[in-house]
Amino acid sequence: MLHISQPLKLKGITLDNRFVMPPMASAKSDNGVVGQELCAYYDEKSQDGQFGLIITEHAYINTEGKASLGQLSIADASCINGLSQLVSIIHKNGAKVIAQINHAGCQTSKEITGKETVSASTIRLSEKFEIPHALSKDEIKNIVEDFTNSAIYAKEAGFDGVEIHSAHGYLLNQFYSPLTNKRADEYSGYTLEGRVRIHLEIIESVRKNVGDEFIIALRLGACDYMEGGSTKADSVKAAVMFEKAGVDLLDISGGFCGFINPQIKEQGYFAELTKPIKEAVSIPVILTGGIVDGAVAEELLATGQADLIGVGRAVLKDSLWAKKAIDMK
């Protein structure tokens, strides 16, 4: 039976416990750059090695993919020095750290990026957003290259790995969801193989450029919970494909353009997704979803719902939450 305080070996590193601080946008960067405020924030959250793993907030891979003001950048080599400072602080405090890399797709605006928004198809997420430009195949190749370059920058900054973001309605999730992918080419929204093609291309390119020991994680919006959207069955098949392509860690979320399960409210509400995925793959699976009680986290691990437990909002309220949960065990 797994326990929160049990270490986990992941590639060439060891996580000291099973708690993960998931990526949560802080809007504390200064025009994309790591500054004193962001460093202080991660220093506070990572104190005493209370997290085995910290996944830093989503960083944009190019200016077209910037989701919001105050978002962190990993779009060019000038970011490396600041990111290195962040990594040093987190490592000093005893945690391992991976960088979440992201492209907003059409979940942004020209006001933020200065550019036309893009997506898999000309489907806008809601009336709040603009109608996007459907990416050409050449533009998709450029995005694969930008994800790859960002992974290289993360490695040079000293991160233990990267997490490719395909959840919460951002670009890769827009390809994965049949609600927003209406393409009829090889990235087709009408087959699972088409919907994950860009993911597999990114994984292959990243792995080729960062080597075998650098961790590649993927955050998947595993179920849209909407008619005509992605399903649990889809996610199990996709997870197997991602593992085969070279992913080392799966971070499971859900909900179209959000991160809630409208059908289940109790703590660990994405366990219905993580359990069948965990049973289908041999790589570790992270479960995040409304967990505020250490005993619940322990139970979710002990009953095989996941390999790692992500705790977000509880840690925003109390920076010592994870330490207290481990000490109370």
Give tens-digit pLDDT for 42-75. Answer: 999 999 889 999 999 999 999 999 999 999 999 9
Q: What does the DSSP 8-state code read for residue 108?
A: S
Place of tokens 């309605």: 169
Place of tokens 């660990």: 268
Phi, psi (5° rounding) for residue 30?
A: -105, 95
How many angstroms separate the CA atoms of 49 and 323, rounded? 8
Question: Per the residue annotation, which of 170, 187, 225, 269 is the catalytic one?
Answer: 170
Please report which confidence band the pLDDT of residue 1 belongs to, taking 50, 70 and 90 as the band edges.
Answer: low
pLDDT digits (tens, 9 = 90+) for 249-277: 999 999 887 777 777 779 999 999 999 99
Instruction: Tell me, yes or no, if 170 is annotated catalytic.
Output: yes
Please report which confidence band the pLDDT of residue 329 belongs to, taking 50, 70 and 90 as the band edges.
Answer: low
Cα-Cα-Cα-Cα torsion 12, 75, 218, 260, nearest 10 degrees, comes to 130
- pLDDT (mean) for 176-192: 98
**pLDDT for 323:** 87
What is the sign of the dihedral through the CA atoms of 260, 261, 264 and 270?
negative
Please report, rounded to a whole number, the percentage of residues in the chain having pLDDT higher than 90: 90
Statement: the pTM of the whole predicted model exceeds 0.75: yes
**pLDDT for 157:** 98
How many angstroms separate the CA atoms of 146 and 152, rounded? 10
